[in-house]
Amino acid sequence: MSAKNIDELIALCKRRGFIFQSSEIYGGTQGLYDYGPLGVELKNNIKNSWWKSTVYERDDVEGLDAAILTKQSVLKHSGHEDTFSDPLVDCKSCGERFRADQVPDYCKKEDLTEPRQFNLMFKTNVGPVDDGSSFAYLRPETAQQIFTNFKNVVDSTARNIPFGIAQIGKAFRNEITLKSFIFRVREFEQMELEFFVVPGTDEDWHKEWVESRLAWWENQGVSRESLELYDVPSDELAHYSKATVDIMYKFPHGVEELEGIANRTDFDLGSHSKDQKDLNIKSSVSENKESNAKLALKDPDNNWVVPFVIEPSAGVDRAVLAILNEAYNIEKIDDKERVVLKLKPHLSPIKAAVIPLKKNDEKIVSRAKNIKNKLQALGMGRVLFENSGNIGKNYRRHDEIGTPICITIDFDTLEDGTVTVRDRDTMHQKRVKESELEETFKKLF
Ligand code: ATP
């Protein structure tokens, strides 16, 4: 089951501390959100899961963490200065401005102006003079600095194609039509992989990455029935793309893009390279007189080859929204309702709550703290020592935030060394020996 509407999720996120409107105490800023105590854990867990499967569990991917402020030349040669824009229309009746493909139903066609192009990149001043002569862009995607670092990574790791470079980080777009909570925002995070391959093998790699990314989403608890593949038609493809498959998810507001997997050909490395005419570049690139690096490799016959690129690009914020929506359940128990987030344990913000039954009993409290510290030391993520509220409230809260188990310490613990372990999904409780607790806990992951 998933949430009936986005408002249920927004309310849960605010109530329990996942996501807040940014600058809320000053009235908020549109399109900007802050991740609270639980949101930061969920987000980190999603990013770690992506990094683990993309970098650690493969032997052909390296990581990168490049600067966010980006030199103008990079985004000139990538094509962003000229083409990273949306067509905007104004509605003469309501006075609002919309992306041309996202005009709401209440605006009449005859009230709309002709579309005008509007660049989505944010600019900021760099250095001591603020006269517009020295500026940088806040990157609109993480991909470009992967391309500019291609030679650095190859030279420092001795990689040859096929191999990839992965990066997770912030991206900024001055979006005009903001939508559905954290779905389309102005500051967001991306998890991007640029996978460099031998030209001619690109179509097979593209298929393989679509399958591999689908499998990853399923491992995060997003069911296959909630996902659709959209083969982007050629007249909708971005200028650099030979083929793009979008992974679409049934968000509460409709079926929309969760991740895009593009075959970017040799456009990017070709565009950022020097000596372009020597390189047999297949895509159409603009002349580059500024780059000082040849972004190509020698093939076995000693000819220069510009690798093709397959790019799986997923948004972290859209991942948070999809994963929360999938995990959200309301269960009827007798005549009461229980909200429970059935998150996969590796994504749960809190891995276990350790609850002393009597909050003012020194022996029980210190035993509980000791157990919390032992479980925390296993390094599986945050374990919470829960020392407020009654046990019923504790269970309700931990169901709502997706904590897989609650461990209760009571007088019997002092007598016979057993604790109560309550399972989030079944609500089943069992007594477990303290000496077996670590094993029970580890088995969850
Ligand atoms: P859309 O048209 O839906 O805004 P896009 O096609 O422009 O998205 P891409 O440029 O392909 O998006 O970016 C890759 C991924 O980054 C998207 O699949 C999405 O998950 C995420 N993303 C892009 N723009 C935003 C945004 N404004 N807010 C949140 N996530 C975003």
What are the structural domains, with CATH classification, of the chain?
A: 6-69+140-324 (3.30.930.10), 350-442 (3.40.50.800)
pLDDT in tens, 28-53: 999 999 999 999 999 999 999 999 99
Residue nearest to atom 29 of ligand 1 (CA): 184
Out of 86, 138, 190, give the residue to mutate to test ligand 1, the one with the largest number of ligand atoms within 8 Å of its CB. Answer: 190
Q: How far is the CA of 141 from the centre of ligand 1 (A)?
A: 9
First to last CA, the chain: 23
Helices assigned H by DSSP within 377-435: 391-401, 411-416
What pLDDT score does 333 carry? 86
Give the pLDDT confidence of 284-318 residue by residue, as tens digits.
999 999 999 999 999 999 999 999 999 999 999 99
Residue 86 pLDDT level (bands cut at 50, 70, 90) = confident
Give percent of the chain above pLDDT 90.
Answer: 89
Token match 């030279």: residue? 155
- pLDDT band of 124, cuts 50, 70, 90: very high
Q: Which atom of ligand 1 is nearest to the CA of 244?
A: 11
Mean pLDDT of the chain: 95
Residue 259 CA: nearest ligand 1 atom is 18
* Residue 200 falls in which region: left (phi positive, over 0), alpha (psi -120 to 50) or beta: left
Average pLDDT (210-214) is 98
Give 1's pLDDT tier (boundaries 50, 70, 90).
low
Mean pLDDT in residue range 141-153: 98
- Name residue 194's amino acid: E
Of the candidate ranges 174-178, 371-375, 389-393, 429-433, the one whose mean pLDDT is the lowest: 174-178
Nearest CA, atom 18, ligand 1: 259
Give the model confidence (pLDDT) of 10-31 as tens digits: 999 999 999 999 999 999 999 9
Q: Which of 74, 82, 83, 201 is nearest to 139 (CA)?
A: 74
Contacts of 424 (CB under 8 A, 6+ apart): 340, 342, 398, 399, 402, 403, 404, 405, 406
Ligand 1 pocket by C-beta < 6 Å: which residues? 141, 173, 175, 184-185, 188, 190, 257-260, 313-315, 317-318
Band of pLDDT at residue 154, cut at 50, 70 and 90:
very high
How crowded is the C-beta side of 295, counted as CA atoms within 13 Å? 26
**Amino acid 180: pLDDT:** 87
pLDDT at 379 > cutoff 90 = yes
Cα(373)–Cα(172) distance, integer angstroms: 39
Going by the DSSP 8-state scheme, the letter that residue 347 receives in this structure is T
Q: Are 70 and 138 in contact (CB under 8 A)?
A: yes
